[in-house]
Amino acid sequence: MSIKMTNFIIFTGSANPSLAEAVTKQLDVRLGNRILQRFPDGELHIEIEESVRGQDVYLIQPISPPVDEHLMELLLLADACRRAGATQLTAIVPYLGYARQDRRARGREPVSARLVADLIKTSGIQRLVAVDLHTTALEGIFTVPLEHLSAVSILSEAVRPWIEDNTLVVSPDLGAIKLAERYARLLQLPVAIAYKTRISGEEVHTKGIIGDVHDRAVLIVDDMISTGGTVKAAIEALLEAGCLPNILVVATHGLFVGTAVERFRALPIRRLIVTNSVDRPGNLPFPIQEISLGPLLAEVIKRLHNNHSLKDLIIHG
């Protein structure tokens, strides 16, 4: 397929420049120049340093910790591009912060995901590309078209060499069942489910395992690892239920915030695999295999820019 790659430009904020560079390298283009600095009072100052008039603009920026700063960078980059005459504005947001706050879990809370969706629309972004969101239902919250990509097939290929005859896929909570089914389909494995309740932002409790994990190796899959509480509780419950100490963990987004570093240092994990959707310190004190989203995101930009179908790359249902 011959690809025409003219009249488009890619900018990035400060959230994950190495991923943005990986994408531009794949596409054989350079990142657009912009100024991104803070005024003495802490306000963000953005300036686009080249013409975007009449161009398709792609903004690569995960809303990763510190989420408010990275969200604001994305919004101001978009506003600057819109006012400078960009024709089509697409945000490539590999990790979408605030996505887990898609409803009021208790009374008198905001629906933060909805407000973020509205801010994204107001900033001038006309289309959003995200990867393995917490729930596919988020599409209903966004008023701009959402292209919901999955990293499950590239992560399945990465973990395949570690799979054994007796491995089964474990969903660490009820919310990840569909994700676990996607891994199970690709890897031809059965599924078990951990029954999790969340106590606080950092603490979760797993009440038990649905399915027989006795003498089985396990592959725990999740959309994200934040503090590691979910994975830790799942591993404890799985070991108690008699699984073998042969544990693989795969997640699309590896944030490793709060107590995650101490937790993962202590957990008996044979292989831990995440993507580079968010930037992390390079010196985490436990082994971690990182799979780049660069080729996937570059392919998506190519297809969007040339109006080619994304059907085989996006999640349905």
Site residues, ligand R5P (CB under 6 A)? 100, 134, 172-173, 175-176, 204, 222-230
Least distance in angstroms from the C-beta of 249 to ligand R5P: 11
Query: Smallest distance, Å, CB 98 to ligand R5P?
Result: 12
Distance from the first to the final alpha carbon of the chain: 29
Only one residue has tokens 């396990």, namely: 218
User: Between 17 and 258, whose beta carbon lies closer to ligand R5P?
Assistant: 258
User: In the bound complex, what is the minimum distance in angstroms from residue 174's beta carbon to ligand R5P?
Assistant: 9
Q: What is the largest CA-CA distance in the chain?
A: 62
Considering beta carbons, is residue 187 or 233 the nearer one to ligand R5P? 233
Which of 17, 175 has the CB closer to ligand R5P?
175
Residue 83's identity, in one-letter code, is R
CA separation, residue 221 to residues 161, 179, 186, 273, 309 (Å): 16, 8, 13, 10, 28
Where are the strands (E) in 15-55, listed by range?
Answer: 34-38, 44-48
Spot the catalytic one: 196, 232, 302, 311. Answer: 196
Q: How many CB atoms lie within 10 A of CB 155?
A: 22
Choice between 25 and 265, CB closer to ligand R5P = 265
Is 121 one of the annotated active-site residues of the chain?
Answer: no
Give the span between the Cα atoms of 226 and 236, in whole angstroms.
Answer: 17
Shortest distance, position 257 Cβ to ligand R5P, whole Å: 8
> Which residues are marked as active site?
196
